[in-house]
Amino acid sequence: MTEPTGTRAIATVSILVLPEVTASVLFGLNDLFQGVGRDWPQVVEGRPGASQLRVQIVSSDGQPLTIANGVRVVPDASLADALPAEVVCVPEVFVVPTDDLRGRFKAEAAWLRQAYARGAIVAAACSGALLLAEAGLLEGEDATTHWAYCDVLAQRHPGIRLHRQRALVTAGEGQRLVMAGGGTSWQDLALYLIARLIGLEAAMQMARLYLIDWHQSGQQPFARLSASRQSDDAVITRCQLWAAEHYRASSPVAAMTQLSGLAERSFVRRFQQATGMSPLQYVHTVRLEEAKQLLEASDDSIEAIAEQVGYEDAGYFARLFKREVNLTPAQYRKRFAGLREVLQQGRKPQDT
């Protein structure tokens, strides 16, 4: 089990590993959960953060095992020795849909029932809902699973209200049964759980950082953000901090030059050396990042957002945004505001 450094973890997540789990899902969930609070400041600000989730990979006996596709896994704990967790996650059950699972995972099913009775969130990605059903947790509840397993789940457990088309379903007491359907649904599941455990913005950061659900737009929307981290030059860092607060100013480069105490040409050269961008490019980057936040979180018009971040000409703002982000402001809002809206359902109370 990996212990976060710097600050105490907010919550513990247990990921159940079975021989019928693929490495991409198991370690993908692990990587997203481990990265909460750690990866965003490391990439964007150049300083490692502290993981906010304690993650443990748990198996029936805690012994090394070979999972699907021949990958060897060394669990952190057995079912009996695992730390109590706020979330218990079943990555998947990668079996032939017609396989009979009755009695196949008795120990794991009992463990899931105990976790749920204790008050934990019990979550499943893809075909992992089959194990939740075998544990008796879904009887009379709403559920979803991978499309290839829907018919089998409905036939074996007619008491389940199956939603074949829904990507994410929450059910049970306190909405503590969480299921996501589809081959890469573990990403959606992880983001939802992060929003629920830690907060909405933490989930949004992981989505931006790992380009989740918007692979077709490539890395361009976020590529320049890493360049905006603070430099080791104290004079330039002071100017960067000023820009973070005053990026709306009408003449930000002139103001930063004056703040630096350097001649304009020397300031521009030194700023470029320290950040990899000209002062004007840096201001644009800060403004566009703020614009992204507003596009995600507000219903303000494109014109109003342009003015809020320092552009009097909304047309210029739209062209600049498209050039730098490779999406129009409207396209960006459509994609990322949708994710924020979905994750709002799982946010912590203090996010409201």
Express each pLDDT in 78-101 by its tens digit: 999 999 999 999 999 988 888 888
Among 160, 180, 212, residue at a domain's last position: 212
- Closest of 172, 223, 173, 169 to residue 192, by C-alpha: 169
Domain shared by 190 and 273, yes or no? no
Among 193, 212, 231, residue at a domain's last position: 212
Residue 344, pLDDT score? 64
Domain shared by 178 and 245, yes or no? no
> Structure pTM?
0.66
Residue 352, pLDDT score? 43
Sign (positive/negative) of CA torsion 177, 178, 180, 184? negative
Work out how many domains the chain is built from and give that number.
2
Q: Show the beta-strand stretches assigned E in 42-133.
A: 53-59, 65-66, 72-73, 77-78, 87-90, 121-125
Per residue in 122-164, pLDDT (tens digit) is 999 989 999 999 999 999 999 998 888 888 898 899 999 988 7
**Within a domain: residue 347?**
no
The Cα 145–Cα 157 span in angstroms is 13
Q: Bridge partners of 87?
A: 13, 121
Domain shared by 87 and 232, yes or no? no
Residue 25, pLDDT score? 93
The whole domain housing 54 covers 11-212
Residue 237, pLDDT score? 86
The Cα 171–Cα 231 span in angstroms is 47
Domain shared by 90 and 176, yes or no? yes
Domain shared by 59 and 193, yes or no? yes
Mean pLDDT by 10 residues, the chain (352 residues): 52 96 94 94 85 96 95 97 96 86 92 96 94 95 88 90 82 91 80 89 86 46 46 84 88 95 95 88 90 86 95 95 89 76 60 47
How many other CB atoms sit within 10 Å of the CB of residue 56? 18
Domain shared by 124 and 202, yes or no? yes
Domain shared by 49 and 194, yes or no? yes
The Cα 82–Cα 90 span in angstroms is 15
- Closest of 171, 170, 137 to residue 153, by C-alpha: 137
Domain shared by 204 and 260, yes or no? no
Domain shared by 38 and 134, yes or no? yes
Domain shared by 202 and 286, yes or no? no
Domain shared by 22 and 163, yes or no? yes
CATH of residue 35's domain is: 3.40.50.880
Residue 200, pLDDT score? 81
Name the token pair of 141: 């509840």
Domain shared by 189 and 267, yes or no? no
DSSP 193-250: HHHHHT-HHHHHHHHHHTTTT-GGG-SHHHHTGGGGS--S-HHHHHHHHHHHHHTTSS
Name the token pair of 210: 């790992």
